[in-house]
Structure 1
Amino acid sequence: MLKEIRAALLLGLAVWVYQATNPPPPKICGTPGGPLITAPRIKLRDGRYLAYKEHGVSRETAKYKIIYVHGFASMRHHTMSVAKLSAEVVEELGLLFVSFDRPGYGESDPHPKRTPESIALDIEELADHLEFGSRFYVMGFSMGGQVIWGCLKYIPHRLAGATLIAPVVNYWWPGFPANLSTEAYYLQLPQDQWTLRVAHHAPWLTYWWNSQKWFPASAVAARKPEVFSRQDLELLSTVTDGRMYMPQTMQQGEFETLHRDMMIGFGKWEFDPMDLENPFPNNEGSVHLWHGDEDKTVPVSLQRYIAQRLPWINYHEISGSGHMFPYILEICEAIIKAPLLEKK
């Protein structure tokens, strides 16, 4: 009898562990019971669909074609202050922005095998589908800024310029001195430290850690005020698109959006950004990195070190700003113009 009870308990524990660590399947857009498809989408070579949105002048008249990569818990509608740019600026410069839902977000199909390389190739395929020509610009904010490192690694020959805006860093990139990355890591709230430990060392537990109720999980995902600067909180109170589109952002499931972002962003990378070579050795383009010196989400000390290691990066540090500074219209305009007007 005792053996049967032990066997039942072990079986029950095994079932609980399986259910706790295995996320529910995503609700794929366009499938029975799944979210509706409302955006234009392209079919990628592996059969996945990528949803996108165009802003600015037409493709035929555009002088500058820019693919924008959204951040964590965002989607194609979230484009900093791009939508607020004056029609005069857009027309004068001939700007065309294309934002897209990263895999699993919004209306883009999930990609269980997503890597820094695969998302860069998705961007290249999107540009080809839209007939952007041999070269185009890429720009990314926060977690989307981290994606730009993959573009610089895997598709540098397709880039006219690249802009990283408050890009998320991986504390385990080997190029960081151990004392510097450790010091920056412990600037985070303890619950975020644990969340990233799990994502890096035990990615198979990421879903469980972020869905269990015993310990607080990611403060960033919960958008706790403690992870924002005073300026950030003021800006967030004026940003309405974030609240408006939040139901659509993660409608296919949090695992394929937030949790996979964590596993990839803080996992083991196949390359170290600090080993990259200048993609524009003949000054035919440029790379810009923008960061606020009061950013409480991504430590500025690590961005300074990256800029020191990669002197070909044009580093811009915004005094008195936190993580959300690109939502200031004047700064957004400066970010957009920097790589474009260099060629004039």
Structure 2
Amino acid sequence: MTTEAKRKISASSARSHTRNSKSDSSSPSSSGIFKKLLLLFFTGFLAWFYQSACPPPPNKLGSPDGLPITTPRIKLRDGRHLSYKEFGVPKEVAKYKIIYVHGFDSVKHYAVIATAASPALIEELGIYIVSFDRPGYGESDPDPKRTLNSTALDIEELADQLGLGSKFYVVGFSMGGQIIWTCLKYIPHRLAGATLIAPVVNYWWRRLSVNLSTEAYSKQFLEDQWSLRVAHYLPSLTYWWNTQKFFPSLTVIAHSPKILSNQDRELVPIFTAGRALVEVQVRQQGEYESVHRDLNIGFGTWKFDPMEIENPFPNNEGFVHIWQGDEDILVPVTLQRYIAKQLPWIKYHELKGAGHMFPYADGISDEILKALLLGKN
């Protein structure tokens, strides 16, 4: 009995040992398959992410199979084309010649100082205004080598090819206003005067007050804070961030009504009137070539700080103006005040109760033109 029991136990133990051996021998195989699947998943994720992060090529402009060209264009030094539109009196008889720089997510047709100003004032003063599509917008070719100074050089070449003379005025709105800083830095000798209307402020300009900049940045919408961080620190991911569906993109790109102040809401019927026919042109070449490149340049690392610019008109032969609404949701008034204080030669105009779109309010564009051209406060 005892021997038989031992034999049974030994056989049972042997079978158990065999089962454990088989189980153990299968573990490395299962682990290897898991690792391969994990590697395959990770590789697929990287491929998907890379494809999602790479912007598509811009849509082609012009014949035979590209987007239609509806306004005149000039050919620039590097072979690109710049599309423009003229307003006001003919340049041949104009007393004042102005180049207008449109804002973010906009086109040449929205030249507010031309469309919202009084036709009688433009005629009386003899004002000629030319607005152009910035690179990648509307009907102007993209600029894959775009830098801080390249648009300023485009402006200078536009003036030369149109025969505007040795000096001309520049006016920029919003992101276009930010570009006027580059004109003051790189082509001051060509300017007769300049106006920056609600110019966008880069929170990383090195001479901004850190406390004021941090405070103003913290008051921005959370989705905007993240979008601007990406544009500043990881510009190669700007396209992905603003096209992915996991997190909200920049409010301006999404056309969120949250960005409108009380006054802006009242002005909506005015600044949207007649846009249906040309609105499609804004991003027609692709979001990357228009709004995303704008973000990367506007909120990237600048080689200079606007507060380091010296007065381009030391003998008062011209003036630089900044116009700002004190209820602007997009551009913090606290930072605009600080910049104006650091540059005492700036003529600073702050409008109480005004939002970002105040140039469309009745009479404001007239005031802006009179201040620039006639020196009226």
State the TM bucket, normalised to the shorter chain.
Answer: over 0.9
Describe the superposition over 1:116-139 as per-residue Cα deviations: whole angstroms up to 9, x where unpaired.
200000000000001111100000
Return the alpha-carbon distance in structure 1 between the equivalents of residues 113 and 143 of structure 2: 28
Contact 1:160 1:284 in 2 (8 A): yes
Find the counterpart in structure 1 of residue 263 from structure 2. 231
Q: CA deviation at 1:64?
A: 0.3
Q: What secondary structure does 2:120 align onto?
A: helix
Contact 1:81 1:328 in 2 (8 A): no
1:257 matches 2:290:
yes
Find the counterpart in structure 2 of residue 110 from structure 1. 142
Q: CA deviation at 1:112?
A: 1.6
Compute the TM-score of the two structures, normalised by the length of structure 1.
0.96
1:48 matches 2:80:
yes
More moved, 221-230 vs 98-107: 221-230
1:68 matches 2:100:
yes
Gap regions ≥5 residues in structure 2: 1-31
Identity %: 62
1:182 matches 2:214:
yes
Q: How does 1:109-258 map to 2 (within 5 A)?
A: 109-239=141-271, 240-258=273-291
2:195 maps to amino acid: T
Contact 1:27 1:33 in 2 (8 A): no
Find the counterpart in structure 2 of residue 321 from structure 1. 354
Q: CA deviation at 1:81?
A: 4.8
Contact 2:98 2:128 in 1 (8 A): yes
1:83 alignment partner, one of 107, 110, 115: 115
Gap regions ≥5 residues in structure 1: none
Are residues 227 and 33 of structure 1, via their aligned partners in 2, closer, same or farther at CA, if it must alter by over 3 Å?
Answer: same
Return the alpha-carbon distance in structure 2 between the equivalents of residues 324 and 337 of structure 1: 19
2:323 maps to amino acid: W
Return the alpha-carbon distance in structure 1 between the equivalents of residues 116 and 263 of structure 2: 19
Return the alpha-carbon distance in structure 2 between the equivalents of residues 56 and 45 of structure 1: 27
Return the alpha-carbon distance in structure 1 between the equivalents of residues 161 and 218 of structure 2: 43
Find the counterpart in structure 2 of residue 9 from structure 1. 41
Return the alpha-carbon distance in structure 1 between the equivalents of residues 148 and 222 of structure 2: 27
2:268 maps to amino acid: L
| Structure exhibiting the larger radius of gyration computed from Cα positions | 2
Q: How does 1:282-297 map to 2 (within 5 A)?
A: 282-297=315-330
Contact 1:64 1:136 in 2 (8 A): yes
Are residues 87 and 219 of structure 1, via their aligned partners in 2, closer, same or farther at CA, if it must alter by over 3 Å?
Answer: closer
Compute the TM-score of the two structures, normalised by the length of structure 2.
0.88
Q: CA deviation at 1:256?
A: 0.7
Q: CA deviation at 1:113?
A: 1.7
1:100 matches 2:132:
yes
